[in-house]
Amino acid sequence: MPGLALPNHDAANNGFSYPRSTEQTCGQKSRAQLSPDDELSAKESLALYCKPLELYNIIRQRAIEKPPSLQRCLRYKIEAKRKKRIQISVSISGSANTRLPAHGIFPLHVLLARSSKDAPGEGHSPMYRFSRACVLTSFCESGDSGHTEATFTIPNMKSLSISQVRSLDIILISRGQGGQNLSENCSENHAEYSSPQKLGGQCFWGKIPIDSLGSSLDCVTLSLGRTVELTSEISMNPGFIEPSLLEHDSCLTFCSLKANATGSYKLKASIDVQEAGARDMRLSPYNIYSYDDVPQSLLPKIIRLRTGNVLFNYKYYKNLYKSEVTEDFTCSFCLVPCGSFKGLECHLTSSHDLFRYEFWVSKEYQAVNVSLKIDTRREELPTVAGNDPGSRVFFYRSSRFKRCKISETATEKTKDVYPHITELGSPGMTVPVDQDIVEPRSPRN
């Protein structure tokens, strides 16, 4: 059957070891211990899966042309996609920046902005459009985690090669105020500092292109839920920001011709990169697995295969079971990728309710135990019981067509009418007509 390939061997003999729990695993009785009668009964028990699989195969074929719903619109698919996005945190270390200007660098605004291709005029940088501005008021060593780090979220690693992502830049804008540490008055002035309107005027600015981070990121480390630590050296140049653009369109451009300061300085920024769902990954025992014994050349492939692997155990006669493994959290019945193990659970229970499921996760496996419901064997599979559904007789009863009866009172009223014909040329005069000449009119006519 498409969508489900049951192996020809028992999972009891495949070398896998499961936690010894009757609630999680199926029985592991070997087929070699079965008598001939039990062998026949086991085959008949396993054949009970055929009818539901035929039904789901028909539904799957119909869904190809007319899908009942868009997979990308399902909530668990959206959540799984969001967890694959990349989270970038930017901070400034005081120990790494020993040569700073006398006027200081704080408050330091950090923005995730999208740049346009053309500059608005001579001496201007490209136009940048942003949605949110984070403000740093002290170095990361100060311990004030609320105002020493700026965090942004960008699309996943596959999207870093798209032109829309390539136009993203992290913009740093420094409006130093005498080198003072602003963390002392941070709670009072943070809302004022973080206002976009405060960006206008003289400043020093620099940028970190997002596409430059893509070549430095380790995909293997990110897929394991770990954090990649990078250091970027930024050239801070003097510029002037027009306040009028900030008030209306959340846009800014830097004009070097209006800058009062001269010269530039280097600023080293610490960048931490991880997947947005890394914290949730660490909560699952399946993701605690160590890859120390895996060769480095095979590590990316092993991680990709193992991350979405799900073991399906199909229970049948006397706790025997067949097993198969799917990749990328794919449903074994309709081959739909569900994005996560939680999404697979939602999909199976809502779309394939002819079976009963047990979901469990250990350090070695993500598994689903599948068994037939009792009602399914009796009602959905009549062929196995010897009743051919084609020989069944179905009766259909329809109510009789009710004809409209002619009312006698309507005919009587028609006979009692005495019509009058008005002669031409004398609208005020009428001539009575003999009643015997007038025929009663039937309602059908």
In a domain, 117, yes or no: yes
Are both 61 and 100 inside the same structural domain? no
Query: What does residue 301 show for φ and ψ, rounded to 5 degrees?
Result: -70, -40
Task: Determine if the peptide bond prior to 107 is cis (ω within 30°).
Answer: yes
For residue range 316-373, list pLDDT tens digits in order.
998 898 999 999 999 999 999 999 999 999 999 999 999 999 999 998 889 999 999 8
Report the chain's mean pLDDT, rounded to a whole number: 76
How much is the average pLDDT of 79-108?
90
Confidence class of residue 414 from pLDDT cuts 50, 70 and 90? very low
Q: What is the pLDDT of residue 315?
A: 94
| pLDDT(227) > 70 | yes
Confidence class of residue 175 from pLDDT cuts 50, 70 and 90? confident
Name the β-bridge partners of 135: 109
| pLDDT(10) > 60 | no
How much is the average pLDDT of 401-420?
51
Q: What is the pLDDT of residue 342?
A: 92
Domain span at residue 344 reads 45-65+72-79+308-372
- Pairing between β-strand 108-115 and β-strand 128-136 as defined by DSSP bridges: antiparallel
Question: Which residue, of 328, 343, 372, is where some domain finishes?
Answer: 372
| pLDDT(19) > 50 | no
Each residue of 119-132: b (16+ CB within 10 Å) or e?
eeeeebbbbbebee
In a domain, 296, yes or no: no
Are both 318 and 273 inside the same structural domain? no
Are both 159 and 265 inside the same structural domain? yes
In a domain, 400, yes or no: no
Confidence class of residue 191 from pLDDT cuts 50, 70 and 90? low
Are both 254 and 201 inside the same structural domain? yes
How much is the average pLDDT of 42-52?
93
For residue range 238-251, list pLDDT tens digits in order.
999 988 777 767 88
Are both 141 and 109 inside the same structural domain? yes
- Alpha helices in 318-440, H assignment, sequence order: 341-351, 374-375, 408-415
pTM score above 0.85: no
Are both 261 and 202 inside the same structural domain? yes
Question: Residue type for 182, please?
Answer: L
In a domain, 15, yes or no: no
Coil, helix or strand at residue 436: helix
Question: Residue type for 332, please?
Answer: S
Number of separate domains in the chain: 2
Q: What is the pLDDT of residue 169?
A: 92
Confidence class of residue 15 from pLDDT cuts 50, 70 and 90? very low
Spell out the residues 6+ positions from residue 307 whose beta carbon is closer than 8 angstroms to its own.
223
Coil, helix or strand at residue 166: helix
Are both 146 and 110 inside the same structural domain? yes
Confidence class of residue 445 from pLDDT cuts 50, 70 and 90? very low
Q: Of 416 and 158, which is predicted with more confidence? A: 158
Are both 111 and 245 inside the same structural domain? yes
In a domain, 328, yes or no: yes
In a domain, 2, yes or no: no
For residue range 63-83, list pLDDT tens digits in order.
888 888 788 888 888 998 888
The DSSP element (H or E) to which 149 belongs, if any, is: strand 149-154
Name the β-bridge partners of 169: 113, 209
How much is the average pLDDT of 31-47?
86
Q: What is the pLDDT of residue 40?
A: 93
| pLDDT(24) > 50 | no
Coil, helix or strand at residue 145: coil
Q: Which range, of 142-156, 178-192, 341-355, averages the lowest pLDDT? A: 178-192
- Rounded distance, CA 81 to CA 66, Å? 24
What percentage of the chain exceeds 70 in pLDDT?
A: 69
In a domain, 128, yes or no: yes
Query: What does residue 228 show for φ and ψ, rounded to 5 degrees?
Result: -100, 125
Q: Which range, of 111-125, 313-327, 335-349, 398-412, averages the lowest pLDDT? A: 398-412
Are both 246 and 315 inside the same structural domain? no
- Rounded distance, CA 46 to CA 317, Å? 7
| pLDDT(38) > 60 | yes
Are both 253 and 114 inside the same structural domain? yes
- Rounded distance, CA 168 to CA 390, Å? 64
In a domain, 111, yes or no: yes
For residue range 378-394, list pLDDT tens digits in order.
444 444 445 554 454 54
| pLDDT(12) > 50 | no
